[in-house]
Amino acid sequence: MSSKQKAIMAVNHPNNPNIGNRSIILVGMMGVGKSSIGRRLADRLHLPFVDADDEIEAAADMKISEIFEKFGEDYFRDGERRVIARLLEGEPKVIATGGGAFINEETREVIRDKALSIWLDADIDILVQRVSRRNHRPLLRGKDPRKVLKELGEARNPIYAQAELHVRSDSSPHARTVELIMKELTK
């Protein structure tokens, strides 16, 4: 079966009647679980999964932290915007974005035009616990994660709220969040 045929089957799958031929984009703060939840959601919807950060690293042939260090955040955000626009071309898929992707107006516009956006939201305590497990996030290097996440949340949450759907993630397994998303998609 060709990838085109698989995409058509996925779009017409009974589990996702409300997404049509659009991709699903997961947006939200770092640590909310966009990649982990995205993989599970893609399996559930019979769609491919793509992590935008992985695609950015592949395109640049360097880690995101290296891009930030070498070229700065503005350069990274421009590349991120281009990669997300490319990912939205073609067959529907589930895409996990970096925490700052949806903040960029041009990126948000492309997402609005070509995808269904879902804001995954979680309490600050959950985010702090999750981001503290690994030390690879450039915006947290050498800083207090709670303070950074609180400041980012204050600035970003009103923008994330522009997503088409809003789903809360909590400390329960990610499968529960996928169930909540599925309920929203089938309303």
Q: How far is CA 32 from CA 51, 136, 138, 167, in A?
A: 14, 15, 16, 11
- Among 99, 113, 110, 105, smallest CA distance to 32 is for 99
| 38 annotated among ligand-binding-site residues | no
| 32 annotated among ligand-binding-site residues | yes
Q: How far is CA 33 from the centre of its chain?
A: 9
| 153 annotated among ligand-binding-site residues | no
| 79 annotated among ligand-binding-site residues | no
| 156 annotated among ligand-binding-site residues | yes
Joined together, the tokens standing for residue 187 give 């309303």
| 176 annotated among ligand-binding-site residues | no
Tell me what percent of the chain is helix, strand and coil, each rounded to the nearest 5.
55, 10, 30
Q: Which residues of 102-128 are buried (b: 16+ CB within 10 A; e: fewer)?
A: bbbeebbebbeebbbbbbbbbeeebbb
| 137 annotated among ligand-binding-site residues | yes
| 22 annotated among ligand-binding-site residues | no
| 33 annotated among ligand-binding-site residues | yes
- Among 36, 22, 4, 9, smallest CA distance to 185 is for 22
Q: How far is CA 129 from CA 5, 71, 98, 140, 169, in A?
A: 41, 29, 18, 13, 13
Annotated binding site: 31-36, 53, 77, 99, 137, 156
Annotated binding residues for substrate, as ranges? 53, 77, 99, 156
As annotated, the binding site for ATP includes 31-36, 137
